[in-house]
Chains A and B, each alone.
Chain A
Amino acid sequence: MSGQHSTYEPKTGFTRWLDSRLPIIRLGWDSFIDFPTPKNLNYWWTFGGVLAMCLGIQIATGVVLAMHYTPDAGLAFNSVEHIMRDVNHGWMIRYIHATGASMFFLAVYIHMLRGVYYGSHKAPREILWILGCVIYLLMMATGFMGYVLPWGQMSYYGAVVITNLFGAFPIIGKGVTTWLWGGFAVDNPTLNRFFSLHYLLPFMIAGVVVLHIWALHVPGNNNPTGVNVKSKEDTIPFHPYYTVKDGFAMVCFLILFAVFVFFMPDALGHADNYVPANPLQTPAHIVPEWYFLPFYAILRAVPDKLTGVLAMFGAVGVLFALPWIDHSKVRSMRYRPAAKLFFIIFVLVCVGLGFCGANPPDKPLFGDGGIGFTLGDANLNSFVWLSRFLTAYYFAFFGILFVLGFVEKPLPVPDSISTPALSEKKG
């Protein structure tokens, strides 16, 4: 895949026979054994392996859950409880799957932020980055539809709110929502198609992951310095160096995963989802899963519904253009002090937006509402105004990156990967 000279030598008669017909062992060898990898990758780089593990766990547990789940509006809720109560270790499989979704998103956010910080989206890795964005979009769709399947109150009203977003588009909106629902409301046909797609999309993700790894192995890994690999001295083979390092990180990640699965399995969910869906009783506060909260906050920050929907989709859409927005010649923000500062603020803003998404928009930030004054349609001392400021920064960050590409004075960049590593050891 890498275009490098292959070092694979089939040793037995069978492997020689196979290699001249389907060189699949050679492919695996060149990709995951002998693949030359920069020797200075830090632990932020282990999340690629963690994500592959998450996808595997979700597919394996999901296939078993589908054996016991019934996608019918009248039976779905109780079939999930049947898994929890009567299926052998069903509770564990379901908790792993439900917690696994959160862990998957946690890892993907770290993976994406790592990419932005170290400039992994820049040439020659634009396609690699865009494929990653496609995977992220597919994950969002899969996660959303999976949350609908237990058919609890939050499942139902989450589906109602998200599908109604498409109703904001003029002319086509109404038709699109009816088409998505398979009827005139969220009901049994909606649940059925969500189940079908929830089973399909993970395999599409797996397909795009193959492309993602392919696109990674052509230019090879970026690294914390952002400097290109110059000589053989800069790299080490993937195995055993990174298999053992990634393996260690994966097991550490599994420890966090297990703490949630076995000791606080419902901490990341919502109590209302243990109440069966009731179309006639809207919950007081409809909130999505935590990993969608920043986008939910952006949606609610904008008073006009269509603009809000566009802003929410735009918040994901802008990522696709990042390789051309962030055009600084220096890849790694290690050597870009200004960009680094704005990046740290950006991370805090994303967390802040998540916080806003979890709280009712008109809830005061400080005190019980006595403080502050009304600005426009809401009190300035409220989550809706906070989310407006944070949304403004979210989008401004990309503008700042674009401008910084022209005006920023980066620090001196090392000549090669080996130089800083060796000098740091000596000094």
Chain B
Amino acid sequence: MLRKTTVLAAFGFALALVGVAAPASAATTEREPKEASWSFEGPFGKFDQAQLQRGYKVYHDVCGTCHGMNLLSYRNLADKGGPFYSEKYPNPNDSPFAKAIAKDFQVADIDSETGDAIQRPATTSDHFRQPFPNEAAARAANGGAAPPDLSLMAKAREGGPRYIYSLLSGFVDPPAGLTVTPGKYYNPYYQGDLSGFWTGAKDKVPVGGLIGMPPPLHDDAVTFDDGTKATIDQQAKDVSAFLAWAAEPHQEERKKTGFAVLIYLAIFAGLLYASYRRVWRNIAH
């Protein structure tokens, strides 16, 4: 604890010395995300449920082996607007889909009779199981860089789903002259500063960065239940849609409420303007 405090204090003072007048202006670069569009964009946009289901499958089969989604419970998958919502089950905890998904995961618990640590099948109310027991284990298993939680990823990066899609489908061979550290991978859409790894001309440093994640997607690495062809591009697009839903599950409700609010306010404003004209009709101003 003392060491942590000392590190933090040292960091604070270092920042104070550098001073905010000259903040660190790292020469990081990244390529603009690719153009792509989804059904949920725009003021009228809605999630495509089939796409959310495919996206969940990509998360479950690929991303989920390293990345957690700590803010989601299994029941959320069957929430209204979610990938496995069905009108037959207004309460997501009754959903056979959510139940079936949950029970395939073993989660840690305490036996209430004996107090022993046990593993039991997850229920709909459990949070998504974390792929690693703790952050140190996550770092140790991944070359020192813990895979970030994906619950909010679509909101936590500039460009949101477009960024995630570009990153996942944007792995390319490193340009000649770039020394890639073992265990790292070149991605032009990942923010980084490659000048230290570049042996070519100083003004031609490649855009992008070195990411600790190996290219995760491969053609037909997952099989979609609805028969959609599982290209890298398709998987990247679908999982980005799923992550956009996961980052803000109430997005559709938000926009729908917004229209009602705007219509109400527009009528209210019209009535007030008419009242204003009438009340002020005899005042020269």
Which one, B99-107, B182-190, B229-237, B259-267, is touching chain A? B259-267
| Residues of chain B within 8 A of A418, CB atoms compared | 284
Residues of A participating in the B interface, judged by any CB pair closer than 8 Å: 39-40, 78, 81, 84-85, 91-92, 95, 160-161, 164-165, 167-168, 177, 183-187, 236, 240-241, 244-245, 247-248, 251-252, 254-255, 258-259, 261-263, 265-266, 271-272, 274-275, 279-280, 282, 284-286, 299-300, 302-305, 308, 360-363, 418, 421-422, 425
User: Closest Cβ of chain B: how far from A355's Cβ, in Å?
Assistant: 17
Check if A241 sits within 8 Å of B16, measured CB to CB: no
- Determine how close the nearest CB of chain A comes to the CB of B74; give it in whole angstroms: 14
Residues of B within 8 A of A279 (CB): 8, 11
Q: For B5, list chain A residues within 8 Å (CB).
A: 183-185
Q: Is the CB of B283 within 8 A of A236?
A: yes
Is B272 within 8 A of A255, CB to CB?
no
Q: Are B285 and A244 in contact (CB under 8 A)?
A: no
- In angstroms, Cα B12 to Cα A361, docked, is 22
Known: A164-B12, A240-B279, A422-B284. A78 touches B71 (CB 8 A): yes
CB-defined contacts of B191 to chain A, threshold 8 Å: 284
Tell me whether B255 and A262 are in contact (CB under 8 A): yes
User: In the bound complex, what is the Cα–Cα distance between A360 and B25 (angstroms)?
Assistant: 7
A403 to B93 CA separation, bound complex (whole angstroms): 73
Interface of chain A, helix or strand or loop or mixed?
helix
Name the B residues within 8 Å of A425 (CB-CB).
Answer: 284
Q: Which B residues are closer than 8 A to A by beta carbons?
A: 5, 7-9, 11-12, 15-16, 19-26, 28, 43, 70-71, 76, 148, 151-152, 155-158, 160, 191, 247-250, 253-255, 257-259, 261-262, 265-266, 268-269, 272-273, 275-276, 279-280, 283-285
The answer for the CA separation of A303 and B155 in the assembled complex, in Å, is 35
CA gap between A8 and B156 in the complex, in Å: 57
| Partner pick for A92 among B19, B249, B257, CB 8 A cutoff | B257
**A185-B9, A244-B276, A258-B261 as given contacts; A300 in contact with B156, CB under 8 Å:** no
A81's contact among B21, B152, B276, by CB below 8 Å, is which? B152
Is A248 touching B71 in the complex (CB atoms < 8 A)? no
Chain A residue with Cβ nearest B76: A85
Residues of B within 8 A of A272 (CB): 156
- A selection of 28 A-B contacts at a CB cut-off of 8 Å is A78-B70, A81-B152, A85-B71, A85-B76, A160-B12, A161-B20, A164-B20, A168-B16, A185-B9, A185-B11, A186-B12, A236-B283, A241-B279, A241-B280, A247-B272, A248-B276, A251-B268, A255-B262, A259-B262, A266-B155, A271-B157, A271-B158, A274-B155, A275-B148, A280-B11, A282-B24, A304-B21, A425-B284
Cβ A284 vs Cβ B28 within 8 A = yes
> A181 to chain B: closest CB distance in Å?
8
| B8 and A81 contact, CB distance less than 8 A | no
List the B side residues contacting A85 at CB < 8 Å: 71, 76, 249-250
The answer to whether B284 and A263 touch across the interface, beta carbons within 8 angstroms, is no
Q: A85-B250, A186-B8, A279-B8 are in contact. List 9 more A-B contacts (CB 8 A).
A: A81-B151, A91-B253, A95-B254, A177-B16, A247-B272, A255-B266, A263-B43, A284-B191, A300-B21
Are B284 and A251 in touch, CB under 8 angstroms? Answer: no
Q: Which B residue sits closest to A260, measured CB to CB?
A: B258
Q: Are A274 and B254 in contact (CB under 8 A)?
A: no
Using Cβ atoms and an 8 Å threshold, which residues of chain A touch B155?
266, 271, 274
Contact of A187 among B8, B23, B70, B273 (CB under 8 A): B8
User: How many angstroms from the CA of A245 to the CA of B279 in the assembled complex?
Assistant: 9
B273 partner residues in chain A, CB cutoff 8 A: 248
CA distance A303 to B26 in the complex (A): 19
Bound Cα distance A81, B248 (Å): 10
- The answer to whether B269 touches A251, judged by C-beta atoms less than 8 angstroms apart, is yes
B272 touches A302 (CB 8 A): no
A262 and B254 form a contact (CB under 8 A): yes
Q: B21 touching A303 by the CB < 8 A rule?
A: yes
The answer for the CA separation of A95 and B8 in the assembled complex, in Å, is 32
Q: State A363–B29 Cα separation when bound (angstroms).
A: 13
Question: Which residue from chain A places its CB closest to the CB of B8 in the assembled complex?
Answer: A185
Q: Which residues of B sit under 8 angstroms from A360, Cβ to Cβ? A: 23, 25
B257: chain A residues within 8 A (beta carbon) = 92, 262
Chain B residues positioned under 8 Å from A164 (CB to CB): 12, 15-16, 20
Contact of A299 among B11, B20, B43, B284 (CB under 8 A): B20
**Inter-subunit contact A248/B250 (CB<8 Å):** no
Residues of A within 8 A of B148 (CB): 275
